[in-house]
Structure 1
Amino acid sequence: MFRINVFVLFCFSFISILPQSPRSCLSGNCKNGKGVLIDASGNESKGTFVNGTLEGYAEVKFKNREMFSGIRKRLSIRGKAQRIDPETGKVVYGTWIEDGDCNDKGCKTWANFIPDSNVECIFQGTFRRNQKVGKGSYICLNGERFEGIYANDLANGRGKLIYSDGSFYEGEFKNGYPISK
């Protein structure tokens, strides 16, 4: 009995060190052609594969429910694309220059930019590592507008906020709020 237990334990130990398949092709040709692939992290990729790598237009559903559709080149997002954040619902459209970096020519997102509000707005500006930075502006469905400096994904620095009734505040902002002096 002892020998059988040792043998069974050895078999399970050996199986656990065998290489696990990091990727699984669900359909099509995931080496050189069109296919659907699940990677080792649980992300699902659909598109054209060249030497096992997505190239050209692709759709990716990440394990965290974030979605991407657009152009992939050499393992990076480059060119026109959109990303959807599953937690905030923020949709970012634009031209990516690096993963998570969207240049300021046409990089737009719909989201709730007014603190403590559910008013939807469209932001246009620069994204670095998926956060708004530098000069940017937004226009909201309720008519509110803002143009100014962003840091840490919020209005931080000089800006002008025009409220929906036409009144405005021009001056400094900190963490998304106007600073009254």
Structure 2
Amino acid sequence: MGNNCTCWKHDLQNQIEQDRKSKPRWQSLEFLKSQEHKIVKMQSWIRGWQARQRVWKIQLQKYNDSVNEQLRTYSASVINVGSRQQSPFDFGIDDINDSLVHQKVLKEPMKLENGATYFGEWINDLRHGKGILICDDGSKYEGYFYQGNAHGRGRLIHSNGEIYEGQWENDEAHGQGTYIHEDGATYIGQWEHDLQHGKGCEKWPDGSYFEGIYKHGKKDGLGKFVWADGAIYDGEFRNNNIDGYGKYTWPDGKQYIGYWQNNKKNGKGKYIWPDGKVYEGDFVFDQKHGQGTLRFPDGRVYEGEWQQDKQHGRAILKLPNGKTSFGEWKNGIRIN
């Protein structure tokens, strides 16, 4: 009879189910309790690591401040080359995240085999970190070194007083930088392998300036040149020359819009005078040459051939009253 009683079966199943569900909970609590000491130990290690990092940063800051001060003092003791006085170079802490920072050692000024004198940081036998290099010609480099070469941010004062300050890579101006010439002209922009390369702006003491693209040290690409007399060219350059398509405006208001080659109008173009006269057509080496149309302010129109800046050949002359005549010109004079 008992074997056929379903209530026992249900009670037994419920007890088994409860035991099955409750057992893992006890196991989880026991597991967490067993891991508690490991968690505490990990937290302690993290706090210790953070404390050591704070101490390390303080020590590194003190070291950097000491190095910077010694370099500033040494730089001031060296006779400035050229006529242009400069404020002390700000070394800052550009190398704060250098993975080799713990290996660097500041040494006393040392005479190198090439005659230059170096005062700064070393790693083994290589200049690495902050330093000042005085060359035998009197020029002075202040800035960062990497494995023996000027690398990172730095300033070079040439013996003639010209200055480059900016980014360096493997002893070459490379990246963003500023160059100040002896005559006061300046270039601010991008460099690559010691040459102006990329976007830049060049200014001269007379007020002239150029802003645009440089390639391998020369103006090459789109740019704008403004001269001291007010003339403006806005367009393409190649190999330091006006070359390609562009617009030139003279101080008196004349304009040319069209193609250029080696600083001369060459190809299709449009020349506009302040009085309203307009020529549109072919140019060859700065002269109207080929087919072109000249429109006068009074309504006359010449359509035809040109040679060496003069009307020359067959053409159509349109008058303001609507009349049209065909004729031939020679050296600017109509002959029939």
TM-score, length of structure 1 as denominator length: 0.66
Which of residues 241, 251, 267 is equivalent to 1:164?
251
> Which of the residues 279, 283, 287 maps onto 1:180?
287
| 1:110 has 2:203 as partner | yes
The residue that corresponds to 2:236 in the other structure is 149
Cα deviation code 1:46-94 (max 9, x no counterpart): 11223332222211134565431101133332322012344x6542211
Structure 1 counterpart of 2:174, from 78, 88, 111: 78
Paired position in structure 2 for 1:122: 209
**Percent identity of equivalent pairs:** 24
SS of equivalent to 1:137: strand
- Retained in 2: the 8 A contact 1:101–1:126? no
> Which among 197, 204, 223 is matched to residue 136 of structure 1?
223
Higher normalized helix content (fraction of residues): 2
Aligned-partner residue type, residue 148 of structure 2: G
Q: Is contact 1:125-1:132 (8 Å) kept?
A: yes
Q: 1:65 to 1:155 in 2, by over 3 A?
A: farther
- Letter matched to residue 73 of structure 1: E
Q: Which residue pairs with 1:9 in the alignment?
A: none
Letter of the 1:131 partner, please give it: K
Answer yes or no: is 1:24 the counterpart of 2:24.
no
Alpha-carbon spacing, 1:180–1:111, altered in 2? closer, same or farther (3 Å):
farther
CA contact (8 A) 1:101 1:130 kept: yes
RMSD, aligned CA: 3.0
Structure 1 stretches lacking a partner, 5+ long: 1-19, 113-118
Q: Any stretches of 5+ residues in structure 2 without a counterpart?
A: 1-111, 266-285, 289-336
Name 2:155's counterpart in structure 1.
Answer: 59
Shift of 1:100: 0.7
Tell me, in whole angstroms, the C-alpha distance in 2 between the residues paired with 1:22 and 1:40. Answer: 8
TM superposition score normalised by structure 2: 0.39
Q: 2:146 aligns with which of 45, 50, 56?
A: 50
**Structure with larger Rg:** 2
| Greater shift in the superposed pair: 164-173 or 119-128 | 164-173
Deviations 1:149-176 (A, max 9, x none): 2223121333211123433122344443
Q: Distance in 2 between matches of 1:25 and 1:108?
A: 34
CA distance in 2, matches of 1:151, 1:41: 35
| Secondary structure of residue in 1 paired with 2:179 | strand
Other-structure match for 1:38: 134
Q: Deviations over 1:103-129 (max 9, x none)?
A: 13xx110138xxxxxx53221122223
d(CA) in 2 for partners of 1:180, 1:65: 44
TM-fit CA distance, 1:147: 1.3
Secondary structure at the counterpart of residue 103 of structure 1: strand
Distance 1:94 1:75 in 2: 18
- Conserved in 2, the CA contact under 8 Å of 1:25 and 1:35? no
Query: What's the offset of the Cα at 1:146?
Result: 0.8
Distance 1:136 1:49, change over 3 A: same
Whole-Å Cα distance in 1 between the matches of residues 135 and 148 of structure 2? Answer: 11
- Partner of residue 190, structure 2: 95
Change (3 A) 1:111 1:157: farther
Give the length in aligned residue pairs: 153
